[in-house]
Structure 1
């Protein structure tokens, strides 16, 4: 996919105060006021809605040891419209537990719309896992490219570490998309360690989009530090850089982005919508 040269554009810096990591805020929406000027994304090519469900404004982020079936049941009672995400399920777990898949993949019908997040770095297993999971009728399949845990990004060589190999992520997303009937997406950081420039983030997005049908990225607007910080610290210590997110909206008009990190109030959401409509 052709993209405008990111190096020729200044970053957009919104005056948002950093907060704690919260739910996902899905960008690229028209204002609810029909008389207001439409966002640029409204006139571009937004990604298709998953199944019969309209794209939501909010999602409950995937969280290990939290977003299991019980948590999602509670979340659905609170909101009928927000998208729910599973905990990350490692591709090898799905492949090796194919005779016990309900334990890892089954969910009640009323949890729709729901996204399955997969983790892994083996193309064959990612493809096999997706094909097995496809039978469970998730609304989207998401690849984890953001987890900084030592077990995942260190010993496992996936999660946030995958951002260092956009060529592989493009191939992985192509393999995932070829084995399911729903849209696919990537959840990532804005960078990893010293590879945290906006140009490198653009190269990552551009490579994945050019090699696969991926048209949705969930952006945790912090980089990941793979050495010296715990997963909890990686959700708070690296500074939020919302300007990266808003610049992506401008530089990739055919791609849908979701913002994660530090959005904790309705006023902040409204402000983000105002900025998006002015880009």
Structure 2
């Protein structure tokens, strides 16, 4: 069911849960407007099942040169249930290295649940790469629509730049889904350059959902500026707008949205979920301080026994 392109999408923030402080959000929410009219959701199709694993309430963001096999091995030693992401692998790399795929795609069995992130802007290569990667039994395939790096969004013409062409992203996700037998997802920003209104974000989500089986979006709650800012600055300078994320939860109830950006402690993760977030993705905080973040995920986020009570126990798990 498509949205009316001229519709105005008011941003409405859900009330804080009883007894929970709003300090985490530091005034980033817009005032609640009881008369606001939500945008119309794209489809009533159910979300695909996530398989035998617990849902992705907590995940570690894909980070180039960081979330490699070595880091993921350490992360899994600490947490059984955190969802792990690979570094982004460019579709053309998979296609051109089809005789050497273990180098790029192989991982130990105990790293499940694990998501492969693919980057690219060529439909044929995205389809071929997904078909090759499907043999490795990832738990989900994710398309990068959020990286603002000049090598990716500039010369490569993919990453965050893809948000400017939701029609293509819908086609790409359809091609990816047709070549794998696991759920598919999109990691994106809330906008790009001057295309940063909530209405445009809704149109992006609506188009992708209506053209493909995609029912999971990871939303980095900052827009990307493709000119003038480095990737590091793009993680800090554009303001966080968590109100966009919570409005998406309201306006697309059949879609799962994971919140990314600006969350650096396990208490903030827990608060976000208690306030209604479907899941939270953490990047550098989970890499720079793996024990302080991942050591609490199983118990505090999933309510499951922790793998170890002290980092001193980790060598015994090898």
Using the size of structure 1 for normalisation, the TM-score is 0.85
1:120–1:158 CA contact under 8 A, matched in 2: yes
1:29–1:39 CA contact under 8 A, matched in 2: no
With over 3 angstroms needed to count, the CA separation of the structure-2 counterparts of 1:62 and 1:25, relative to structure 1, is: farther
Deviations 1:143-191 (A, max 9, x none): 0000000000000000000000000000000000000000000000000
Deviations 1:59-95 (A, max 9, x none): 0000000000001001111110000000000000000
With over 3 angstroms needed to count, the CA separation of the structure-2 counterparts of 1:195 and 1:154, relative to structure 1, is: same
Range with greater deviation from structure 2 (220-229 or 14-23):
14-23
Deviations 1:195-220 (A, max 9, x none): 00000000000000000000000000
With over 3 angstroms needed to count, the CA separation of the structure-2 counterparts of 1:45 and 1:82, relative to structure 1, is: farther
Structure 1 residue 2: Cα displacement: 4.5
Which residue does 1:260 correspond to in 2?
Answer: 260
1:91–1:126 CA contact under 8 A, matched in 2: yes
Structure 1 residue 265: Cα displacement: 2.5
- Give distance in 1, aligned partners of 2:222 and 2:210: 24
Structure 1 residue 32: Cα displacement: 26
1:119–1:158 CA contact under 8 A, matched in 2: yes
With over 3 angstroms needed to count, the CA separation of the structure-2 counterparts of 1:162 and 1:35, relative to structure 1, is: closer
Unmatched 5+ stretches in structure 1: 274-279
1:166–1:204 CA contact under 8 A, matched in 2: yes
- Give distance in 2, aligned partners of 1:192 and 1:173: 19
- Give distance in 1, aligned partners of 2:29 and 2:53: 15
SS in 1 for 2:88: strand
- Of structures 1 and 2, the larger Rg is shown by 2
With over 3 angstroms needed to count, the CA separation of the structure-2 counterparts of 1:251 and 1:32, relative to structure 1, is: closer
RMSD: 6.5
1:215–1:255 CA contact under 8 A, matched in 2: yes
- Give distance in 1, aligned partners of 2:113 and 2:26: 14
1:44–1:254 CA contact under 8 A, matched in 2: yes
- Give distance in 2, aligned partners of 1:168 and 1:234: 24
Which residue does 1:65 correspond to in 2?
Answer: 65
1:173–1:212 CA contact under 8 A, matched in 2: yes
- Give distance in 2, aligned partners of 1:81 and 1:32: 35
With over 3 angstroms needed to count, the CA separation of the structure-2 counterparts of 1:25 and 1:130, relative to structure 1, is: farther
2:116–2:138 CA contact under 8 A, matched in 1: yes
Structure 1 residue 51: Cα displacement: 2.4
Range with greater deviation from structure 2 (135-144 or 11-20):
11-20
Deviations 1:120-152 (A, max 9, x none): 000000000000000000000000000000000
Q: Which of 1 and 2 has higher RCO (CA within 8 Å, sep 6+)?
A: 1
2:28–2:240 CA contact under 8 A, matched in 1: no
Range with greater deviation from structure 2 (30-39 or 56-65):
30-39
- Give distance in 1, aligned partners of 2:107 and 2:222: 31
- Give distance in 1, aligned partners of 2:7 and 2:39: 24
1:23–1:59 CA contact under 8 A, matched in 2: no
Range with greater deviation from structure 2 (24-33 or 225-234):
24-33
Unmatched 5+ stretches in structure 2: 274-318
1:19–1:263 CA contact under 8 A, matched in 2: no
- Give distance in 2, aligned partners of 1:6 and 1:75: 46
